[in-house]
Structure 1
Amino acid sequence: MDFSTPIMIIGLVAVMLALRVPVGFTLLISGTLGFAMSRGLDSTLQTLGARFYDIGSGYSLSAVPLFLLMGHMAIASGVTDDMFKAARTFVGHIKGSLVLATTFAAVGFAACSGSTTSTTAIFGKVALPEMMRVGVDRRLAAGCIATVGTLAGMIPPSVVLLVYGIIAQESIPRLFIAGIVPGLLTALAFGIMIYVRVMRKPELAPALPPSTRAEKIDAVKSVWAAILLAFIVIGGIYLGVFTPTEAGAMGAAGAFLIALFRGRVTIDAMKNVFIETSKTTSVIFIIMVGALIFTSYLAVSGTSGAVSAWIVGLEVNPGVLVILYLVFMLILGLFIDPISVMFLTVPIFLPPLVRLGLDPIWIGILVTKSLEIGLITPPIGLNAFVLKSVSPGFSFKEIYGGIWWFLQVELIVLAILFSFPELTTWLPDLMYGG
């Protein structure tokens, strides 16, 4: 079989990405050109039409804008500020003070957001100034903010896991539930690292005076609605009460009600919520269309099948193949956002790994974790640029210097999840309906 055309098209993708052409348009142009060269213009136009229809009519895809809407509505309702204040109230007196508070608050907000970059940006605005005010080390503070946003990529309702489920045609509820233990394990590992570092060097994060009982009660009152909403959404998915799309609708409606009762529903606020949701949804859907065209071309050209047959035919332990795939994800994650990388690689590499007997849910968690690590890995680390954009007073040297400690923890957690697949699979196996 002649693979000269597919090789040329893949080379075109590499060149366009190097020229910083948006990923969605890169895949759309390359895939369309490949189709036209191999199948003719009529077949190409029919394929384009079918893929646009698939994106527009897919029921499961409607969960994407709904969960994004939930996250932006939660930001508008002010729950981020309240979660940070509540976490500060309960753990501010512990060694690590506001750094620990930020980490635990990020877990709560991740359950209402699902967006890594949004979590990083909002905590850069909310938590970072407060840390600077009480004298937290600049590197530790910047590293914490840039890193804890990745928790939203794992803790449901993670948009990245949702997209993986759509691409891999795997159960999205099982993926969501599979992300709970890895997400909490990551947050716990962050907390231990922060506590140990501050215990050895207390000046890194001065402890705050203990909060009074009244302050703790007020803190609980300020966040109970958001926590209840997260439990309803995640619990509804776990028990099989809601589909992911229905859970997204419930979450968006609940976040709106929280904003309404708090008096945060204004014309300007709602306009901003829907504009931001529309922008993010549009970007994701353009990537989806481009990726579907590109992967369809690879399929009809025989490239995907050839790669799959080659991987299956290797006389290598499947675990080694997974490690190589994760290293590839770590590298790509430096330069490209997680959703784009998934669309580029999962349709090609997942089928042969599944044929070798590996659990696609476990692989999905490992891939997501690897891509989230890529977001904080120097010399690129997209989350570092997000933090720099909202906190221009910080240098990249300070941000990357702080990230280094968290990056080590992330790699250790990835190794643990790889070595003990049961940490990922046991909770989904307990779900309603298996």
Structure 2
Amino acid sequence: MTPIAAGLIGIAILFVLLILRTPVAFAMLSVGFFGYWALEGARSAGGVLLTESYSAVANYNLIVVPMFVLLGNIASAAGFSRGLYDAAFAWVGAFRGGLASASVLGCAVFAAVSGSSVATAVTLGKVALPEMKRLGYAPSLATGSIAAGGTLGFLIPPSTGFVLYAILTEESIGRLFMAGILPGLLLTVLFMGAIWLVSLRDPAAGPRGAHVPLPQKLRTLGEAGPLLAVIAISIGGIYLGVFTPVEASGIGAALTILLALVRRRLSWDGFKEAALSTLSTSAMLYTIVIGANVLNPFFAITRIPATLGEGLGALGLGAYGTLLVIILAYVVLGMFMDGLSMLVITVPVVYPVIIALGFDPIWFGVIAVIVIEMGMITPPVGLNVFVVRGVAGDVPLTTVFRGVFPFLAAMILALLLIIAFPGIALFLPDTMFG
């Protein structure tokens, strides 16, 4: 059997395992180990399993994951998400669809402490959906705004997607975090624009909220201020070179715990639940990284990435034509796979192609994450849609999917803008450390 044939069989088996709902980490681990065994023998496969597993968990940069996950879990347990939502509503609630726009703003800010799309959607959904239902918002707009807003947790730093991309490609986590800020803000504005357009077309779908006096706006901003300060210290410190992403994650988690204790919002049970949730999430992500590290050597010896690059080059599509093919492949995969699975399986294959085409790997990381975000709200899988459906309770799944279509259009527009103007993603990374 030729290495390429073995690689294609391995990819087919991997997808079969995923269809059978095998956890992605163990699917990658099995295919990588047994595939390497088939080509290089049991002794070599055992060596790869041991060395790659150890190097994966011993990676110092991975500490970012549990620390930022803990930060988000503590913020959620302490109820800080309510303060973020109230502040956002006070400032934009009087506009058309103001409550939905406030939800998106709250998701954007909470994304900067959670790093998780699902956690962002669940946390803000529990706060915002009952309010929008009470004020008579159309169920499609209410659920669609939360499902789409939740995807910002995968783009706005600290993003677990960027951490995994950095580990898989050996790029800088700090530069990737900075690259996600302006695209994240752009997407937030475009989401709010989509809400305004939907409310303009159907005023009953997103009625205006009550006007909030300036003193009350400032009070809500003051309530959310300490958590905003934690975000500014963590992300700003990385940008200015004051500390590394790992140090920023530890400082952010410590400050959030201190803030929760000072405000007396964190009980022992709440802390214990946040810590256990952090352990569970971190164990899952570490296992995924181990599986990816074992799968990558198998892909390398099969020459699948090199062959893919040669095949795409032979099509004569040019750099941007090839990029379009890769993006379309991501879109199709996103309809059937969750974001983390798609990221860890595809990046080792397409990354060499992107480098060969001369594209900036940091810029492509942003492109990949946005396309994966689209997969989080597209049928039939649409993980965020199912999550929001679970929080909303009585809203049909078809209604939620219908509600996300304007936000998908906003994502496509953001994607086109970042492709046309790479500086949107690269400006902050290129100016890091002054």
Relative to the length of structure 2, the TM-score reads 0.96
Aligned residue pair count = 433
Find out whether 1:415 has 2:416 as its counterpart: yes
2: distance between equivalents of 1:298 and 1:225?
Answer: 47
Matches within 5 A, 1:89-168: 89-168=90-169
Paired position in structure 2 for 1:201: 202
2: distance between equivalents of 1:63 and 1:290?
Answer: 19
CA contact (8 A) 1:312 1:355 kept: no
Q: For residue 426 of structure 1, what is the amino acid of its counterpart?
A: F
1: distance between equivalents of 2:200 and 2:411?
Answer: 21
Q: For residue 333 of structure 2, what is the amino acid of its counterpart?
A: L
Find out whether 1:182 has 2:199 as its counterpart: no
Q: Which moved more, 1:82-91 or 1:190-199?
A: 190-199
CA apart distance, 1:218: 2.2
CA apart distance, 1:390: 2.0
* 3-state DSSP of counterpart to 1:194: helix
Paired position in structure 1 for 2:83: 82
CA apart distance, 1:345: 1.1
Find out whether 1:39 has 2:46 as its counterpart: no
2: distance between equivalents of 1:182 and 1:206?
Answer: 28
Paired position in structure 2 for 1:404: 405
CA apart distance, 1:389: 2.0
Find out whether 1:289 has 2:290 as its counterpart: yes
* 3-state DSSP of counterpart to 1:203: coil
CA contact (8 A) 1:165 1:172 kept: yes
1: distance between equivalents of 2:84 and 2:183?
Answer: 21
Q: Which moved more, 1:171-180 or 1:333-342?
A: 333-342
2: distance between equivalents of 1:153 and 1:380?
Answer: 17
* 3-state DSSP of counterpart to 2:335: helix
Paired position in structure 1 for 2:261: 260
1:361 and 1:324, CA in 2 relative to 1: closer, same or farther beyond 3 A?
same
Q: Which moved more, 1:393-402 or 1:334-343?
A: 334-343
Q: For residue 146 of structure 1, what is the amino acid of its counterpart?
A: A
1: distance between equivalents of 2:292 and 2:119?
Answer: 24
1: distance between equivalents of 2:11 and 2:4?
Answer: 11
Q: Which moved more, 1:363-372 or 1:381-390?
A: 381-390
Q: Which moved more, 1:291-300 or 1:364-373?
A: 291-300
2: distance between equivalents of 1:354 and 1:101?
Answer: 39
Query: Deviation digits for residues 219-250 of structure 1, max 9, x if unmatched?
Result: 02210001111111111010111111111101
CA apart distance, 1:265: 2.2
CA apart distance, 1:426: 1.8
1:314 and 1:353, CA in 2 relative to 1: closer, same or farther beyond 3 A?
farther
Q: For residue 363 of structure 1, what is the amino acid of its counterpart?
A: F
Paired position in structure 2 for 1:222: 223
1:208 and 1:304, CA in 2 relative to 1: closer, same or farther beyond 3 A?
closer
2: distance between equivalents of 1:149 and 1:422?
Answer: 25
Matches within 5 A, 1:245-256: 245-256=246-257
CA contact (8 A) 2:179 2:366 kept: yes
1:39 and 1:2, CA in 2 relative to 1: closer, same or farther beyond 3 A?
closer
Which runs of 4 or more aligned residues in structure 1 lie more than 6 Å from their structure 2 counterparts after TM superposition? none
CA RMSD of aligned residues (A): 1.5
1:297 and 1:81, CA in 2 relative to 1: closer, same or farther beyond 3 A?
same
Relative to the length of structure 1, the TM-score reads 0.96
CA apart distance, 1:393: 1.2
Paired position in structure 1 for 2:234: 233
Paired position in structure 2 for 1:316: 317
Identity across aligned pairs (percent)?
35
CA apart distance, 1:39: 1.7
Paired position in structure 2 for 1:346: 347
CA apart distance, 1:313: 5.0
CA contact (8 A) 2:121 2:384 kept: yes
CA contact (8 A) 1:312 1:353 kept: no
CA contact (8 A) 1:330 1:370 kept: yes
CA contact (8 A) 1:312 1:352 kept: no
CA contact (8 A) 1:334 1:382 kept: no
2: distance between equivalents of 1:13 and 1:422?
Answer: 37
Query: Deviation digits for residues 28-78 of structure 1, max 9, x if unmatched?
Result: 111111112122222211111111211221111111111111111111121
